[in-house]
Structure 1
Amino acid sequence: MSAVRIRVLIVDDDPLVRAGLRMILGGAQDLELVGEAADGQEALDLVARELPDVVLMDIRMPRMDGLAATRRLRELGTAARIVILTTFDTDEMVLTALRHGAVGFLLKDTPPAELVLAVRRVARGEPSLSSSVTTRLIAAVTASPDTSRQRAALALLDRLTAREREVALAVSEGLTNSEIAASLYMGVATVKTHVGSVFAKLEVSNRVQVARCVHDAGTGPGTERGQGSWV
């Protein structure tokens, strides 16, 4: 019996970009390209018909742009995981895409091997943000410190066990479950259990929100591990 392949849909109005992505995806035996769309409206129809696992979505397109299409797909309850793939990475654009339900944000100059790995991560349920996007996103969500926000974050983090705090900090640093398992000497299944518990106790639904809570509590970029008052 052949292994189940990850079904991918490409959405971009530039035929050259679609051709490039088609070539990249075609080189991975575990990925299957199930369709291509030139705008967001066409993407809605194809997602409904082809049921892809992952959608690589451009932002600037005619008729319906990528952000609007992402929001609409989430409203429709599609199970497809959406990765924004663009040449732009402004803070507001990243935040808007994540609010609309995207689970990844990659630049179009992402090396082919990293792009394929990102698709695999997203298909497993892990987010995928390029390193430059992660750095800027953390800076954006931690700008203008608010003591009341910090107190609220500390109260939430106080619910965690010592091990869950280590996992939450690792998540905030952008590590994948596999990387957390290696750094904390745990099995991946154990990490997934801890991540699920962290989500529940912090009352969040994604890893970006975990990062925001951790940094609101005072353990931000440039703070050594263990110096935060909640660690």
Structure 2
Amino acid sequence: MSPRQIDSQTRDQREEELLDAAMILIGAQGVEGLTMDKLVSAVPYSKGTVYGHFSGKEDLLLALCNRGMALLVSMFKRAESFEGVTRERLLAWIYGYQLYARLYPMFFMLVITAKAPGVAEKSSERQREKHIQLQALLSEGLLGLIRQALETAECGNPLNMTAEQIAFANWSASFGSISLLSKGTDRCNIRAGLELEESLLANVSLVLDGLNWRPLSSLFDYNTSLERIRCEIFADEVAMLTAGEMNQERCSSL
């Protein structure tokens, strides 16, 4: 007897349900505690059905990473719509990235997990192809913005860096700042007392000023730009973050 066939919509809904269950397991036990057997026990489906969706833990992790990347793509698409000079538009991307990291910390860190040795190699071709497509979507808009800044000479680029090198410099400054200053991270020595958003934007300003990306921070009020970005592009995310922080404060006071 052949297995029962399901339509694509049912399959997609079931896959989302499995990913939801995997996220709950990671939230409770960490990535190390996630196993396929635990996932099977947490959902109303057979082991064969679960493995029909994901070939193993690595495939599942890459699928979760892809889910987070798709969300980030949607936020970056909105950042692209911000009206301003190229440096302001880049600031919208970076501000959106830190909102994403604070609202969805699991997705933020799963990007690194997906880059671990063996994860991609042990994942299905479907998830690998989706990952490549999402990476392209994330990089295309950013590289296009940087190339525009170089072509218009808004970015002086004194070191003659490529667009890819400039993108990496900004990503590494952003990712490093967020990772080191996120809640739950040990804040000893020089990190003590530093605020994530303020420190991130200061570090990025150092990079952009070093690239002679005009207008320089000493000659332009980027705080006004940030307020516009918060209100015009990411008002919903800012409200979600504010509500979450207020709820945490209430819980900690009990």
Higher relative contact order (CA 8 A, sep 6+): 2
Instruction: Select the structure of larger CA radius of gyration.
Output: 2
TM-score computed with the length of structure 2 as normaliser: 0.28
Q: Which has the higher helix share?
A: 2
